Structure formats: structure tokens, C-alpha cells
Amino acid sequence: MQEVNPKETTRAYAYKMWMKAPMPMVTLIKTLDVTRLRRISRKRGLKFNMLMCWCIGRAATQVKELYMLPVGDKLIRYDSIAVNTIVANSQGEVSSCDIPFSEDFSRFNENYLRLTRKVSDTCENHDITDSMVIGTSALAQYDIDGAVGMYSGVFNNPFMIWGAYRRRWFKTTLTISFQFHHTQMDGAHAARFLGKLQDAINSF
């Protein structure tokens, strides 16, 4: 990771316009076809949430804007991507767990299981500070259509939320919300990322 001069990047105008905005976050909502992931999850005994996280990381590596993030008043470029998941811990609360993305699915799955288990047992967050982290929160027991207004004013990381998937005959869908800082990307970049997420799911 390294600080970059915004004027030397494609985000120069966005940096000027949105870094000081009181509410710089934008949210897109999209319904994904996750039929393939649900089938793979059931047949192979793999966690659906883990499969989603891998596909998110896979899609993110194909969008260059997701390697840059406004941090404080600086623009930082990262060399790697991580995906965060919220974990129910042993005290009945929730903790945060960052998982480094790997193109090697088996390695990612091993890291996901190992790190989420550790976070659950210790109730201590696992943070990766040298990767661009995409946050996720799966409210899998609830039927929701999306979530907005998650901006804390501290973390500018992109964030995805989803609830329970919906099964209909031969198709399973999942509605997700994707929040991002406008300095990091424009709506078109975000929409392209969500399209690549669907591609990653389809081609898993």
C-alpha cells in the first residue's frame, strides 16, 4: 500500500468533489442469481457465505478502482484485496474478520474457516491493514431488500449487505446492497463490479 497523488490518478475530479462531502457514500442495490452457489454449497458441503465472499474478492480484482481507497484525507493504493465478514462470537455478540483474497479457492476456504473460527472463539477482531478490504454483512435469517446509510465517517471501505436468498422453482436469487465512497469510484464502476460479481458466480 502507498499514498498516491490524486491529481495523478483517474480519481482526481472525484477526490476534489467528494472528499469533503458530508455524505460521500453511494449505495446500489442489485438482485443476483445465486442458483449455482446454492447448489455447490449443498453438494460440496461448503458455506454459502464463504462462496459469496470468494466471488466478491474475485470480482474486485478485476476493477482497478477497488485497489484505491480514501483514508483520512489521503488516497491510498493497495496491492491486494481482502474480504471482511461479520462473525457471531462465543459471547453471543459479533466480531469482525478480514480474510485475504486468494485466487486459489481451496486456500481461501481454508483461511475463511480458520480465521472465522479463531475470531468466534477469541471474540477478537482479525484486521488486515495492508489490503483494500471490502466489508460484508450477511443477515441470512432475515428477508430484507437492502440497507443504506452505513457511513460511519471513519471507515470509507466499500460494504455489502444481504439477507436470506429466495428460492423459486429452479432459480435462487439474492438481493444485495453495495455501498461505496464516491471518491473511490463512480456509479458505472460500481455497476461493472456487480456485473463481474454475477459473472464470478456464474463461472464458479
**Integer Cα distance of 181 and 11 in angstroms:** 12
Rounded to a whole number of angstroms, the distance between the first and last alpha carbons of the chain is 29
pTM: 0.95
Check whether 151 has a pLDDT greater than 90. Answer: no
Digit-coded pLDDT (tens) for 37-76:
999 999 999 999 999 999 999 999 999 999 999 999 999 9
Identify the pLDDT of residue 108: 98
Higher pLDDT, 155 or 176: 176
How long, in residues, is the chain? Answer: 204
pLDDT score of 81:
98
pLDDT at 147: 83
Residue 154 pLDDT exceeds 90: no
pLDDT at 6: 95
Does the structure show a pLDDT above 80 at 169?
A: yes
Mean pLDDT taken over the chain? 95
What is the mean pLDDT of the segment spanning 19-42? 95
Mean local confidence (pLDDT), 151-165: 89
Cα–Cα separations (whole angstroms), residue 18 to 25, 34, 135? 9, 34, 21
The pLDDT of residue 145 is 87
Predicted confidence at residue 98, as pLDDT, reads 98
pLDDT at 7 over 80: yes
